[in-house]
Amino acid sequence: MDIRLQLTNTPKQKPVDETKLGFGHIFTDHMFLMNYKTGKGWHDARIVPHQNLNLAPSAMCLHYAQEIFEGLKAYRRDDGEIQLFRPEENFKRMNVSAKRLVIPQLPHEEEMVEALMKYIDIERDWVPRTKGASLYIRPFVIAVDPYLGVKPADEYLFIIIASPSGAYYSDGFNPVDIYVEKHYVRAVKGGMGFTKTGGNYAASLAAQDEAHQQNYSQVLWLDGIENKYIEEVGSMNIFFIINGEIVTPELQGSVLPGITRKSVLELCKSWGYKVSESRISIDEISDYYDKGQLDEVFGTGTAAVISPVGHLKWGDKVMLINEGKIGEVSRKIYDTLTGIQYGDLPDEFGWTRKLS
């Protein structure tokens, strides 16, 4: 991919205290842009100074939500080298999302990874040096036609921006409390639950707000038809350890196929754990808990990697998971994945991509 460069003459000051980075409010000096037009395809790849977009008020993304996005991170190793974790999987998934939203397919994932690596190389000084911190990367596509008719757009903009972000567990690796949503639903099979598009997240806000009012940090979603089968948690996939078996809801079109989820499944299988993807109801989870067979519960996602669950609230019933402590398996998975991501452990799976 030919990439035109227009680098800033006035670089920003880098954050001095990396323990106060937070998430998603500091941005690097540059962004990657690429246009699409029907009949011309993707063209004019460029890296330019980070700036506001010039969009018509009638831009289709603002009215009909034809947009998709991804999220991944760049990590700095102790030796100073920078690496990404399975970036090709993000671009594969992005094209799955694109197909569902009738957005043109991006170039092959290897070509996109190479473009991303060039962008990160230019922004390499923005990758934090503090362990646990990282450079969060947000690729996204928006429909930009100035048109109010309801149809797939003819013009799109692909963008990558990046934000240095602090450690997710700034106060230590601790369990979170989860609230089971019984009224709202996130997605249904045949909808867009398996895609990474903004509408899925907008649909989650009301329940998320309700959970926060009850002092719970995340929402556990049930299926949209029978309202009893477990799907995912907030912006994470969910796992249960039942009698030593690692169980996660199967992908049926309403659950996002997380890249951390995929990595956890592959990792646990390599360790010899019994692993299954199946349809499991909240009633079954409650029964396993009553029988003392629910060993651990944890979420998986890009931001937290592994998020152990301390309490699970379903109606009036509050389940205390593993005495509110981090489980042995959750800890092992977290330590291994973060060890691979930061280069502290050998990558036996070929998951990491170093900047040259």
Prediction pTM value? 0.96
Fold of domain 4-165: D-amino Acid Aminotransferase; Chain A, domain 1 (3.30.470)
Q: What is the pLDDT of residue 172?
A: 65
Domain boundary assignment for the chain: 4-165, 176-341
Q: What is the pLDDT of residues 34-89, one digit of tens each?
A: 999 999 999 999 999 999 999 999 999 999 999 999 999 999 999 999 999 999 99
Nearest partner of 15 among 169, 172, 116, 127, judged by Cα: 127
Q: What is the pLDDT of residue 171?
A: 62
Q: What is the pLDDT of residue 234?
A: 85
Q: What is the pLDDT of residues 110-131, one digit of tens each?
A: 999 999 999 999 999 999 999 9
Residue range 176-341 in CATH 3.40.50.2000: no
How far, in Å, are 134, 230, 233, 239, 300 from residue 318 at the CA level? 35, 16, 16, 18, 21
